[in-house]
A = this chain, B = another copy of it.
C-alpha cells in the first residue's frame, strides 16, 4: 500500500477548522482563494504520491551511505529532489524578492505534511532549508542575502542547522564551538557538531551550514552565542574547511543522513556572522515556530501514512466472522476492536492536523495582519500553539504508527510489510527540534504567562465558544460529543489556572512536574474543539443538501474523539493538579 494524499480532508480542515476561508475573506492571503489552494494541493498530492512515496521503502532499506567523507543518498533520491525543486515546491513559501512564491505558511504546511507522509526521510531536508531561509531573510546582511537566498529558495542549494554538540543537546548554554574574526569581515569557525540532518549529501552542489558558535570574548551561557553562515563551497569555488566525519546508524529515517560535522580541522572554516554578535539564539528563535510546526506536521504525516496502510490491510485481511454476518470470514475492519484501533488512529491524526493547521494560520496572521495589536495577538497565539502542535502531533505520530503495526498482527512485525518502517521513522519526531518534554516546559513556563495569561485564556474561550455552538446541535449522531468536549475544556481551564499560579509563585517544581500531562490535556481540548468545528461544518453542509457521505463520517469521527479520547482529560487534570507529590521522594523511588 503506498500513500494517497488525502487532499479533500486536508482542504476541508484548512477551510473550516484552520480558518482559510476566513483569512481569504479578510484579504489576508492576497490572490489566494480556496479553489486555488485546492488546485495547488492536488498538484502537490500528485507529486507526493507519484514521485516521493515510491522512494520511501528503498530509502529505508539502502539508506544514506558514507564513504571517505562523502554521503551518497539512496537510489533515485537525487533525481526526485531535483524534480521536486524544479517543479517549484521548495520555493512555495519563500520570499518573492528571492524568487519564492510567497505563499502562506498554512498552504505550505499542507504540502509539508504530504512530502513527509510520502517519505519522512525526504521531507525533513527541506524543513531545514526553509528554516535557514527564514533566519537569513530576517537577520543576514544584504550581501549574504544576495549571495545565498536565491539558491536556497529555489532549492538549488540546501541548508543545515548546526546547534547540537556532544555536551550540548537540550542545553545550548554548554556550547563550545568557537569563531574568531579574520579581520576581513569573515570569521574562522572551529568545533564539532553532531546530529546534523543532511549535513552532507549528493543532492545539490553546495550546502549552506548555519552554525552556532562563541566569539573569543563572548559571555558564558546562552548570551554568548552567535550565528554564522558557513558554506561547504566558498564563493570562489574552493572547498571550505568543514567536513562530515561520519553518519549515524539510526532506528529510522535511514535515507536522511545524520552527520557529525567537523569545522576547522585546517585552521578554521570560513563563515560570516548572521545577525548581531552574541544574539545567535535570538536569530534561531526566529525560525523556531516554523521548524517546530514542520516537525509537528511530520507527526501528522506519519500518522496519516500509517493509518492509510492499516486501513487498507484491515479491509483486505479476513479473519473471524462479524456479528450477524453470513460469510465465514469477514474483513477485520468490521470487528469492533479493530475499528476502535482504526478510529483512534484517524481521530488522533485529524485532531493533530487541526492543531497544526491552526498554528500555521496563526503564524500567517502574525506576519500578515495590518494592525499591530492583531499581529501581536496572532503571534502570541502561534507561540502558544506551537509547542502543542509539535509535541502532541509527534507523540500521536508514534502512537498511531504503533497502532498501525498492531492492526497488521504478525505481519506488522515483518519489515517488508512497511508498517514497521513507519513505526521506526515516527520515533524521531518527539525527540528532535526540542524534545517533547522541552516543548511542554516551554508551553507551561513561557507560553502560559504570555500577556499575563490572557493569550491562553482567549484560546480557552474560543474552545468554549465552539463547544457552545455544538451543544445547540440536536442531531442524535453527535451523541455525547458536546458534554464530553465541555468537560475536557473545563479540565483544561482549571489546570491552566493552577499552572499559571504555580509558574508565577515559588512552585516552579510543580509547574515542571505537570508540564507533559498538561500539554496532552491542552491538545485533547484544542483537538476536540478543532474536530467540533469540522463536525459543525460537515453538519451545515449536509443540512444545506450536500449528500456527500463524508460529512456523516466527519461527525462520527468527532464523536469518537469526544467519547473515547477526550474523556482522558479529567485524569490528566488530576495528574497536573495532584500528581507532583513525587518531587519529594523521586530520588528514593528511583534508587530503590
Contacts and interface: CB of A to CB of B under 8 A. Distances in A.
Interface of A: 9, 164, 167-171, 173-174, 194-195, 248-252, 311, 318-320, 323, 328-329, 333-343, 346, 398, 402, 405-406, 409-410, 412-416, 420, 423-424, 427-428, 430-432, 435-437, 440-441, 477, 479-480, 484, 508-509, 512-513, 515-517, 549-557, 559-560, 563-564, 567-571, 574-575, 578-592
Given A341-B437, A343-B586, A582-B343, A592 B554 contact: yes
Contact of A437 (B406, B564, B591): B406
A254 to B, nearest CB: 10
Contact of A553 (B341, B410, B428, B592): B592
B592 A563 contact: no
A551 to B, nearest CB: 8
Contacts of A559: 581-582, 585
Q: Number of copies of this chain in the oligomer? A: 2
A591 B343 CA distance: 11
Residue from the set A334, A517, A590 with the largest chain B CB neighbour count within 10 Å? A590
Given A406-B430, A567-B579, A571-B568, A346 B589 contact: yes
Nearest to A589: B556
Most buried by B among A406, A575, A579: A579
B437 A338 contact: yes
B579 A563 contact: yes
A585 B477 contact: yes
B432 A410 contact: yes
A516 B437 CA distance: 28
12 contacts: A171-B319, A171-B320, A249-B416, A251-B415, A336-B583, A336-B586, A339-B582, A340-B513, A402-B427, A424-B424, A563-B578, A569-B571
Contacts of A410: 164, 169, 194-195, 431-432
B164 A336 contact: no
Nearest to A479: B581
A409 B251 CA distance: 13
Nearest to A164: B410
Closest 10 CB pairs of A and B: A553-B592, A556-B585, A550-B592, A556-B589, A171-B319, A336-B512, A251-B420, A568-B571, A567-B574, A336-B513
Given A340-B513, A554-B589, A567-B579, 12 more contacts: A194-B410, A250-B413, A251-B414, A336-B509, A337-B437, A337-B516, A340-B582, A341-B516, A343-B590, A346-B589, A559-B581, A560-B579
Nearest to A432: B410
A430 B579 CA distance: 29
Given A336-B513, A340-B513, A414 B248 contact: yes
A425 to B, nearest CB: 10
Given A549-B588, A588-B552, A582 B564 contact: yes
Contacts of A430: 406
Contacts of A477: 585
A58 to B, nearest CB: 15
B509 A590 contact: no
A400 to B, nearest CB: 13
A476 to B, nearest CB: 9
Contacts of A586: 336, 339, 342-343, 556, 560
A108 to B, nearest CB: 25
Given A169-B319, A556-B588, A590-B342, A415 B249 contact: yes
A500 B376 CA distance: 56
Contacts of A432: 410
Contacts of A591: 549-550, 553
Contacts of A563: 574-575, 578-579, 581-582
A417 B319 CA distance: 39
Given A170-B320, A343-B590, A435 B409 contact: yes
Contacts of A436: 406
A472 B414 CA distance: 51
Contacts of A414: 248-251
A175 to B, nearest CB: 12
Contacts of A194: 410
A169 B410 CA distance: 8
Contacts of A431: 405-406, 409-410, 412-413
Contacts of A550: 591-592
A241 to B, nearest CB: 25
A480 B323 CA distance: 43
Contacts of A337: 437, 440-441, 512-513, 515-516
Contacts of A587: 334
Q: Which of A320, A559, A581, A591 has the most CB of B within 10 A?
A: A581
Nearest to A563: B579
Contacts of A424: 251, 424
A339 B579 CA distance: 12
A342 B437 CA distance: 13
